[in-house]
Amino acid sequence: MAVSYQTREALHVKTPKLTRLQQEARIGLLFLSPWLIGFILFKALPILAAFVFALTDFQMRTPEATTFVGLKNYIRFFGDVDAGASLFASLSYFLITVPLEMIVALVLAAILTSERLKNKGMLRTLIFMTSIIPSTSIFFIFLGSLEYADRLIFTPLNLPPINGFGLLIPFMALWSIGPGFLIMYSAMESISKEIYEAARVDGAGPLARFIYITLPMISPAIFFTLVINLTGAFGGAVLLDRGYILSFSLSPMEGYINDMMFSQANLGYASALAWVTFAVMMTITVILFRSARRWVYFPEEESHEV
């Protein structure tokens, strides 16, 4: 059977080749696909589910009795004394621990950037290891050491014992400074040595160089660490994983949400509390971003203005 001219032409038509950018885009999507799948399954869908559950009276013990209640769970929050106290306690925890973490991380980063210090690599590793080793395990080892010291030293000398649990909050806060320290340390290392040399020639001492050169130059890193620590203070791990056990949290609001969800099985109200916490965090974050224009140094913006 004879083949028509149009059929022969169609058989000779070649599939257009992908350009280099299209090939790179497909390869990039291939590498991103595990993260995208994980984000959709473990982040986006739970967030949407929490938004829906917050509008219902969903009880995990009796899911078949779920009804739509609208904004009733949010209205309940304003009359819940325990929820308000937990939220206020989380704000207090943020105001206490975050400055402590940032000051210690900043001081350690300034010390390790000194040219006179040796074995910097080993010291950096030791400081960052605190974020890898679970802080709960180390704290209980610390408590055991205090009890051992109490039997050997304090009791024979009739001295009052040290309350180890009173050191829990500062201990947990300082144990997780590794990522923040590394961010500030990297920012300090990126500052040009010529700037310090020029300031030294002009007669600026170490303290003046730190206040008027180092702090303004690393202010974007300080701002980034502040925002991340804000999230961690309210219970979110993000990149500053606290290394706590699953059922434990230093954030009172997160603990109250966990109790409402797992102990009382009230998933609807717990979801509403989570959204309230998110709203408070976003409000503080927006305030921080608004204030960043006054104290954070962005060299890119200044170059555009010039």
Q: Count how many domains the chain has.
A: 1
Q: Which domain holds residue 83?
A: 36-305
Q: Is 282 helix (H, G, I), strand (E, B) or coil?
A: helix
Tell me whether residue 20 is in a domain: no
Query: Does residue 113 lie within any of the structural domains?
Result: yes
Whether 192 is covered by a domain: the verdict is yes
Tell me, yes or no, whether 27 lies in a domain.
no
Residue 306 Cα distances to 156, 291, 294, 299, angstroms: 71, 22, 18, 11
User: Which domain CATH number covers 267?
Assistant: 1.10.3720.10
Task: Give Rg (Cα) of the chain.
Answer: 27
Token pair, residue 100, equals 């402590």
Q: For residue 159, how far is the Cα from the chain centroid?
A: 40
Task: Please name the amino acid found at residue 49.
Answer: A
Q: What is the pTM of this model?
A: 0.74
- 82 CB contacts (<8 Å, ≥6 apart)? 256
Q: Which of 225, 222, 228, 226 is nearest to 210 (CA)?
A: 222
Residue owning tokens 């300082």: 174
- pLDDT at residue 55 in the model: 94
Angstrom distance (rounded) from CA 33 to CA 87: 37
Residue 130 maps to a domain:
yes
Cβ pair 127, 109 in contact under 8 A: no
Q: Give the mean pLDDT of the chain.
A: 81
What confidence tens digit (pLDDT) does each residue in 226-256 have? Answer: 888 888 777 654 334 444 444 456 678 888 8
Token pair, residue 214, equals 């180092």
On whether residue 226 sits in a domain, the answer given is yes
Percentage of the chain with pLDDT > 70? Answer: 82
Q: What is the DSSP letter of 91?
A: H
DSSP characters over 1-47: -PPPHHHHHHHHPPPPPPPHHHHHHHHHHHHHHHHHHHHIIIIIHHH
Please list the residues that pair with 56 across neighbouring strands: 68
Helix (H, G, I), strand (E, B) or coil at 56: strand
Longest Cα–Cα distance in the chain: 111
Q: Is residue 2 part of a domain?
A: no
pLDDT tens column, 102-145: 899 999 999 988 888 888 888 888 888 877 776 667 767 777 77
Residue 28 lies in a domain: no
Query: Is there a contact between 130 and 181 (Cβ–Cβ < 8 Å)?
Result: no
CB 270 within 8 A of CB 257: yes
